[in-house]
Structure 1
Amino acid sequence: MPVGFYALFTTIFGGQQQENGLSFAATSLATYGAFGVVSVMLLNPGIGVAEDRTRGWLRVKMVSATPIGVSLAARLLAALPYALGVLVAMTAASVLITGTVIDPVTWLRLVAALVLGGLPFALFGMAVGFVASSNAAAAILNAVLFPMVLASGLWIPLGLMPGFIQAIAPFLPTYHLAQLAMAQITGAPALGHLLAVLATTVLGALVAGVAYRNLRV
């Protein structure tokens, strides 16, 4: 869905210049890219862990010789190629629709910021997976994902959103991830957004750790 959204709106608005002087196709690689990465990183590990717990497979892992931390880290890292695949697909769509919009070095910085910045969302997803069934985890994570994405301006520019949503956006981790990604394209200062993403990662690790310690399999 993120790739489809990006392709649709890039077809319609791709050549339009934004306030920062860049085309819509370029800037939306950051915003829709953040949407795609968060979608994968939030849902994939969380639902997978919930399914393992529901089937009893997580219990088997906990009593096996393999440290449970290794198994969970493997599931976390297994989501990274999917996030990268979403970004590659968006870039391919951009090239096909409007041509090359950013240089390779900028693209690599963008991808690194989004993929690594997606890790805290995977931690939060796993925390939900530790306490909910697979069906419930999918419902909970989707219920969190779409309002958060919309309120962060990842679908519609914040300038077009109501004032109360613009006021909420800076408190959302998806907003800071998108702004960190955007800074790789525009060259804007990004330290504050980077610190916000790092703080979200620490919080996600703490929440996932607490959920795991209270895990019932």
Structure 2
Amino acid sequence: MRMDLIQGLALISSLILGIIPFAILGLALGYLLNPKSADSILSLSLIVIPIACGSIPLPVPQIVQDLIAFSPFYHFRQLILSAINLNHDNHLILHLLWLLWACGAFGLLAAWSYQRDRTV
């Protein structure tokens, strides 16, 4: 696969911007869950994440396909696809705003779980 410098920078910046909410979610889960349950959470996420981002087409009802559009994983996938100009839906601002919202929501969850962990 060949790409020019601008497309490579867009891909790297999309990867960095898209991973921030999920890093914050990882911090929140680290405070909420028992360390012994990390293996089961990671195993489950290997199944849930590809379905949640819509990369595995499954014959599911329309309501489930509509719910996938609310997943931050879906918006991260669309951000990456738009960076490499490959079959994306041309709603870049929407995907960036959705990831920003997810960053704020996961940040609030991480702050709450940290306070909960400190008091326990």
The equivalent position to 1:202 in structure 2, one of 104, 110, 113, is 104
Q: Distance in 2 between matches of 1:120 and 1:145?
A: 18
Normalised by the length of structure 1, the TM-score is 0.47
Structure 1 residues 158-190: Cα deviation after superposition (integer angstroms, max 9, x where no partner): xx4324342221011100011011112228331
Which runs of no fewer than 5 residues in structure 2 stay unpaired? none
Partner of 1:10: none
The equivalent position to 1:193 in structure 2, one of 80, 86, 95, is 95
Partner of 2:70: 171
Q: Distance in 2 between matches of 1:167 and 1:153?
A: 10
Larger RCO (alpha carbons 8 Å, 6+ apart): 2
Partner of 1:162: 59
Normalised by the length of structure 2, the TM-score is 0.80
- After TM superposition, what 4+ stretches of structure 1 lie above 3 angstroms from structure 2? none
Q: Distance in 2 between matches of 1:142 and 1:198?
A: 27
Once structures 1 and 2 are overlaid, which stretch shifts more, 206-215 or 129-138?
A: 129-138
Following superposition of structure 1 onto structure 2, how do residues 26-65 of structure 1 map, counting pairs within 5 Å? none
The equivalent position to 2:9 in structure 1, one of 84, 104, 108, is 108
Which protein has the larger Cα radius of gyration, Structure 1 or Structure 2? 1
Letter matched to residue 69 of structure 2: P
Query: What's the RMSD between the two structures over aligned residues?
Result: 2.1
> What is the aligned residue count?
114
Which runs of no fewer than 5 residues in structure 1 stay unpaired? 1-98
Q: Distance in 1 between matches of 2:74 and 2:66?
A: 11
Letter matched to residue 207 of structure 1: L
Contact kept in structure 2, 1:151 and 1:166, CA below 8 Å: no
> % of aligned pairs identical?
32
